[in-house]
Copies of this chain bind each other. A is one copy, B any other.
Amino acid sequence: MSWPPFDSPCLTPATESPGPLGPCLHCQIRHLAVCGVLTPAEVQAMDTVASLQVLEAGAVLARQGEQRRYVYTVVQGALRLVRLSADGRRQVSGFAMPGDFVGLSGAATYPHDIEALAHTELCRIGLDAMQRLGVQFPHLQGKLLERACTELDTAHDRMMSLARMNPTERMADFLLRLAAQQERAGTPGPSISLPMPRADIADHLGLTVETVSRCLTALRTRGLIALPSTYRIEILDLAGLKALEAA
């Protein structure tokens, strides 16, 4: 469904707390997360079932095929969602950034490994508890549906990208997506961060590490981007990049 965004009944952006995570009420990223639609009173209900989980870089949160017991909201840091086929081919389904909800799946088991790209803090909720919350707060379920629909849209974008764009175009698309995402999350700025290694970008875009590297240097040579460091990128010619992506 279209599900034009529900108005968040809680308009205070939850920035009053200094700490990274108190109880949910003071959560720094609630406005980015699905729980943003809950009233302060409703947030309390969520508080009783949510718990904070901290991961170090490289830590594995879940393995493909394991029983799904929890869903997560990323509070800080970043995750990668990785599929491995029987013969070892690797596909990075996506990256989860602060505010992202991890667990929109219809399967009983995890469809991918979930790994931390850096020090990461998560809000964890039992799957059953989350389902009960969905029944209790229909507008929360509505928000989840809205998220799922948005993710479906971007999934279709990515299919177009994987099926019909060449490596350079895919890189441009990826970088612009990342930039837009960091802008939304309140981290604008000329230079954007690439929290993942080249291999993850490659497996996300259906390329090889070598090709990713070559594409980045190509974009740099053409003056579209700068690479101040390995994990940081600067967009010099936004219009030029967009022209590539749209193709």
Contact = CB atoms under 8 A, between A and B. Distances in A.
Task: Please give the count of copies of this chain that the complex contains.
Answer: 2
A150 interface: yes
A40 interface: no
Contacts of A153: 105-107, 111
Interface in A126-156: 127, 130-131, 134-135, 138, 141-142, 144-146, 148-153, 155-156
Given A91-B160, A106-B152, A163-B206, 4 more contacts: A83-B156, A89-B160, A93-B156, A141-B145
Interface in A75-133: 83, 85-87, 89-91, 93, 103-108, 111-112, 127, 130-131
13 contacts: A1-B134, A2-B107, A86-B247, A87-B247, A91-B159, A106-B149, A134-B145, A141-B141, A141-B142, A152-B155, A155-B155, A155-B156, A155-B159
A162 interface: yes
A107 to B, nearest CB: 6
A205 interface: yes
A220 interface: no
A65 to B, nearest CB: 14
A235 interface: no
Interface residues of A, number: 53
Given A89-B164, A127-B1, A164-B89, A111 B206 contact: no
Given A68-B2, A127-B2, A151-B152, A164 B108 contact: no
Given A141-B138, A145-B145, A153-B111, A105 B2 contact: yes
Contact of A152 (B2, B131, B152): B152
Contacts of A107: 2, 153
Interface of A: 1-4, 68, 71, 83, 85-87, 89-91, 93, 103-108, 111-112, 127, 130-131, 134-135, 138, 141-142, 144-146, 148-153, 155-156, 158-160, 162-165, 203, 205-206, 246-247
